[in-house]
Amino acid sequence: MSVQPDKLRAETALMFPPGFVWGAATAAFQVEGATTADGRTDSVWDVFARKPGAVVGGDTGDPAADHYRRYGEDVDLMRRLGLGAYRFSLAWPRIRPDAGLPNPAGLAFYDRLVDRLLDAGIAPWATLYHWDLPQALEEKGGWAARDTAFRFAEYAETVLERLGDRVASWSTLNEPWCAAMLGYAGGIHAPGRRDPAAAVAAAHHLLLGHGLAMDVIRRHAGDTPAGITLNLYPVAPHDPASAADVDAARRVDGQQNRLFLDPVLRGGYPEDLVADLAPFGLTDVVREGDTTTIAAPIDWLGVNYYRDYTVAGTPVLGSKPASPEWVGAADVHFVPNEAAPLTASGWEVQPAGLTASLLQVHRDYRPVPLYITENGAAYPDDVTENGDIVDTDRIAFLDSHLQAAHEAIEAGVDLRGYFYWSLLDNFEWAEGYAKRFGLIHVDYATQRRTPKRSAFWYSRVAGLNGLS
Q: Is the separation of the CB atoms in 349 and 342 below 8 Å?
A: yes
Q: Is the separation of the CB atoms in 34 and 68 below 8 Å?
A: yes
Using DSSP's 3-state secondary structure scheme, residue 235 falls into strand
Point out the catalytic residue in the list 175, 325, 348, 428. Answer: 175
Amino acid at 287: R
Spatial separation of the C-alpha atoms in residues 444 and 440, rounded to whole Å: 12
Q: Is the separation of the CB atoms in 403 and 417 below 8 Å?
A: no
Residue closest to 87 by CA, chosen among 194, 174, 7, 15:
174
Strands (E), 57-189: 85-89, 123-129, 169-174
Q: Cα separations (Å) of 148 from 76, 248, 280, 357?
A: 37, 32, 20, 30
Using DSSP's 3-state secondary structure scheme, residue 154 falls into helix
Q: Residue 175 catalytic?
A: yes
Spatial separation of the C-alpha atoms in residues 423 and 26, rounded to whole Å: 6
The CA-to-CA distance between both ends of the chain, in Å, stands at: 23
Q: Is the separation of the CB atoms in 126 and 167 below 8 Å?
A: yes
Contacts of 7 (CB under 8 A, 6+ apart): none
Strands (E), 183-234: 226-231
Spatial separation of the C-alpha atoms in residues 167 and 187, rounded to whole Å: 34
Spatial separation of the C-alpha atoms in residues 401 and 457, rounded to whole Å: 14
Using DSSP's 3-state secondary structure scheme, residue 237 falls into strand
Amino acid at 86: Y
Where b means 16+ CB within 10 Å and e means fewer, 83-97 reads bbbbbbbbbbbbbbb
Residue 108 has a CB neighbour count (10 Å cut-off) of 12
Q: Residue 428 catalytic?
A: no
Burial of 215 (0-12, 13-18, 19+ CB in 10 A): middle
Spatial separation of the C-alpha atoms in residues 97 and 300, rounded to whole Å: 30
Angle between helical axes of 104-119 and 67-81 (0-180°, round to 10):
10
Length of the chain, in residues: 468
Catalytic residue annotation: 175, 374
